[in-house]
Structure 1
Amino acid sequence: MLLAHAIANTFRQHFQGEPLMVRAPGRVNLIGEHTDYNAGYVLPAAVDKEIFFAVALNQTDTIRLVAHDLNKKFSVAAESVQRSNTGWANYLLGVVAQFQQRGIAVPGFDCVFGGTIPMGAGLSSSAAVECGLAFALDQLLGTQLDRLTLAQMAQKAEHEFALVQCGLMDQFASLFGRQGQVVRLDCRSLQYEYFPFDTTAAQVVLCNSGVKHSLASSEYNTRRQECEQGVAVLQQYEPTIQSLRDATPELVRAHEQELGDVVFRRCLYVVEENLRVEAAGRHLLAGDLAAFGREMYASHAGLRDLYEVSCPELDVLVAAAQQAPGVFGARMMGGGFGGCTINLVAPNQVEAFIAHQTAAYQQQLGLELETYTASIVAGVGEWIAPTAE
């Protein structure tokens, strides 16, 4: 909360006047990886690693942005918003452009933002930046757009200004999070439902491998293409199939030869992962964390062996977690080739778990381990500004 205070004060120093304060959370995905762009299911939650915004209209035609953490500024005329050479500003400018594309006039405004989401850890800091500003502008301009529309605008901002062809999950989780609940999103119909997550029974602990292999972005695009190839083959035998969401493991196995080894394994992973997300929801309703954890381990094995997006560092962390007391489940989280593992740990074992993982990582790979505990929180919303000092 000190950070929110600091951002409000930075705003007052730079721009005078009182801002609207907004909090936008990052997210974890408990299970359902690489399913979103295959029109499948995901099971994310908003977490208490977040970005705070101080925003106000400024009665001019200039947009003035301040990145509190980077200590950098950027300004542009409201009517000439376009992609810039300033990476961090593009996430915000992309959101402004989305309002403008809808025919909504965006006047000059001032914005200071900063946060506690570790960069490059796979907690979707970019989605939090986009969703926070989208929510703030919706409030300030009185546009009354619903949260799904704001999520889709934030996603398009990332496609068009950050040039990342992400699915909708990250923006959806940031805007639709609920305290103590995870949300299952059907990435085809965009229907969603909430499941209780008992944070007194299991703590979310993230282990940051500290690596990001350069394969990540090129391989991500390759996986998308391989899945599309698989759909094209399966459609020849089952014309109703529009995406891997419609296929079954039996159908995929029946056409292993025609798919070829690599595409077969990619398809089998996605089809099985969708079933795991559905099973995970049932386990949460039954309060069966051990069964939920088994789905997580199976997800990791599929990502490692069939989808081939893991890496030695992530595999070491998951294998070590399986040996630690009080761990329900663990898996790599995010696009792969680095980033974090997500672990569900009994609260009274968290300290021992962190010590165990840190030692194992150092021993086996000679690497330092950064860990974070995360609580499940509500989605994007107004933050009541601390009073000026």
Structure 2
Amino acid sequence: MSDVSDVVQTFRDAVGREPEGVFSAPGRVNLIGEHTDHNEGHVLPFAIDRRCRVAAARRADDVVTVRSAQEPGDTVTTTLDALTAARGWSAYVLGTLWALREAGLPGAGWDLVVAGDVPLGAGLSSSAALECAVALAVDELSGAGLDRHALARAGRRAENDVVGAPVG
């Protein structure tokens, strides 16, 4: 369940409308420097052919719904004021939204459906791919125009401050 048509169909089925866009980010492998990024060390990563995709649409209220194509029926619904209370897989998504708001992104509700084929827990940066895809979606659809470094920092803050993972 990882190509664009699959995540679009999952979005349609779950949300009842078309997504405004589908955004993706690849997993990655580090040739050298694994775990030195935590301490601002040097790394040599490269993208792989596995991706995380996010189908997204804005909402007119402050509600955020997040669904995973890999976890049918597991819908997380919250508000913009409760993003940091997230736990489990949705903490990566909601933490990224929180970090983007902290960086000045305008507040808005979202419907998000995530899907991907980056293996979880295999050292291929599946969480970073998810956070980057979410950040790209929200930045693009909100028209904020944050630079790529700000989007990457939002993913890092999500993992450090919401998920509690010491990533770099």
Q: TM-score, normalised by structure 2?
A: 0.91
> Which runs of no fewer than 5 residues in structure 1 stay unpaired?
168-389
Residue equivalent to 2:25: 24
Residue equivalent to 1:211: none
Would the alpha carbon gap of residues 103 and 33 (structure 1) be closer, same or farther in structure 2, given more than 3 Å must change?
A: closer
**1:78 Cα deviation after fit:** 2.1
Would the alpha carbon gap of residues 17 and 33 (structure 1) be closer, same or farther in structure 2, given more than 3 Å must change?
A: same
**1:40 Cα deviation after fit:** 2.8
C-alpha separation between the residues in 2 aligned to 1:39 and 1:95? 21
C-alpha separation between the residues in 1 aligned to 2:39 and 2:66? 36
Aligned positions of 1:272-311 closer than 5 A: none
Aligned positions of 1:70-89 closer than 5 A: 70-71=71-72, 72-84=74-86, 86-89=87-90
Q: Show CA shifts across 1:261-303 (max 9, x none).
A: xxxxxxxxxxxxxxxxxxxxxxxxxxxxxxxxxxxxxxxxxxx
Q: Which structure shows the higher helix fraction?
A: 1
SS class of match (1:41): coil
Aligned positions of 1:199-348 closer than 5 A: none
Instruction: Output the amino acid matched with 1:161.
Output: V
Conserved in 1, the CA contact under 8 Å of 2:22 and 2:55?
yes
Instruction: Output the amino acid matched with 2:164.
Output: L
Residue equivalent to 2:143: 142
**1:158 Cα deviation after fit:** 0.5
Count of matched residue positions in the alignment of Structure 1 and Structure 2: 166
Aligned positions of 1:97-176 closer than 5 A: 97-167=98-168
Would the alpha carbon gap of residues 67 and 2 (structure 1) be closer, same or farther in structure 2, given more than 3 Å must change?
A: closer
**1:36 Cα deviation after fit:** 2.3
> Which runs of no fewer than 5 residues in structure 2 stay unpaired?
none
Conserved in 1, the CA contact under 8 Å of 2:2 and 2:117?
no
Conserved in 2, the CA contact under 8 Å of 1:99 and 1:106?
no
SS class of match (1:40): coil
**1:3 Cα deviation after fit:** 3.0
Q: TM-score, normalised by structure 1?
A: 0.41
SS class of match (1:45): strand
Conserved in 1, the CA contact under 8 Å of 2:2 and 2:116?
no
**1:12 Cα deviation after fit:** 1.0
Residue equivalent to 1:349: none
Conserved in 1, the CA contact under 8 Å of 2:66 and 2:113?
yes
Structure exhibiting the larger radius of gyration computed from Cα positions: 1
Q: How big is the alpha-carbon RMSD for the aligned residues of Structure 1 and Structure 2?
A: 1.6
SS class of match (2:3): helix
Would the alpha carbon gap of residues 73 and 122 (structure 1) be closer, same or farther in structure 2, given more than 3 Å must change?
A: same
Would the alpha carbon gap of residues 161 and 38 (structure 1) be closer, same or farther in structure 2, given more than 3 Å must change?
A: closer
